[in-house]
Amino acid sequence: MDLHSLLHTSTSAVQSVQVLETYFGRTLVTDGKTQSAEHDEFVYHESLVHPALIWSAILSSRHDRSSAPKSVFIGGGGELATAREVLKHNTIERVVMVDIDSNVIEVSKKYLPEWGGEAVLNHAKIEYIVADVEQYLQGSNEEFDVIIIDVSDPIEAGPAVSLYTQEFYQLVAQKLDRYSVSVTQAGSASFIQLVHSSLGIEEGGNDAESTCFGPIRNTLAAVFDHAIPYSAPVASFGEDWGFVLAFNGRDTLAREIVDLPHEVIDNLIEERIQAVAGVPEHKARSVGANRVTTGKERGGDLKHYDGVVHRRQFALSKPLREMMKLDQRIMTVANPIFMY
């Protein structure tokens, strides 16, 4: 990735933060790892948010809750773009966003206003809290329709390792009712194994393989009835990126979400989605994205996610599916797995 200039650098008690001008436009980096970039942050954030909220709407409509989802919890999301996407849903009444590092939010407000900025942070439906995500949920009695975990990767000594464990997902499950949904970002969705330890899994190693996509799915599957992996192409990350959607319910639901007709998705987008007032458009973004989504056509307030994309996201490649089948690891407090 070509680096053009360094716009900001700082270090908080939690992590280092940089904003760079790169080939992909303005780019947020924490602890040396790209978090999002101007040219394609919409791919990552729309993929993280909208499948979960759309599925919540469908599940809720079957149980006389057609106006759901109403309440959303965001763990992390300091760039504010995750909250931006949530607020596009016209059923939303309350969004609680908890991030441990206020510095990321302040930096994003100043240098990345297109991600959401003041328009999101000062939105009437947003409650923003600087706190440890796990500690906040432990002390809260509130239940949510959707819980979104948008935190940094499980890097050894990083701030978010515990937020990928079975114990944490059990806590998340307690904050959801029977028809609610949780989703988390899950790291690289590449089937190429990037070994970073001389001790292989077959030799007793627990972190020889640097991908966590399979273990995150396995860990959620140990807590929820369904843990469905999916992916999106994020060019600024250099690879496809993984997500896992988790929920409870009858066995057939897993197949239903994957096979949703594109017309169902597109109709819900048209009924529910509208842009958040006051959020500026990116000045520099891929020509294709701006050309096909002017905001005037059907679903124009989304630049990536629609009914066709939904079905593509759940169609993982055969090598990736085979690799994930072989990986039986589960992430716990006692036995964490680090991406690198």
Q: Which residues are known to be catalytic?
A: 150
Instruction: Kindly report the backbone phi and psi dihedral angles of residue 187, in degrees, each rounded to the nearest multiple of 5, phi listed first.
Output: 80, -165
Q: Which of 98, 79, 77 is nearest to 282 (CA)?
A: 79
Q: Which of 287, 296, 285, 293 is nearest to 309 (CA)?
A: 293
CA distance 120 to 125: 9
Instruction: Kindly report the backbone phi and psi dihedral angles of residue 36, in degrees, each rounded to the nearest multiple of 5, phi listed first.
Output: -170, 155
CA distance 88 to 152: 24
Place of tokens 């899994």: 201
Dump the DSSP string for 13-45.
Answer: SS-EEEEEEETTEEEEEETTEEEEETTTHHHHH
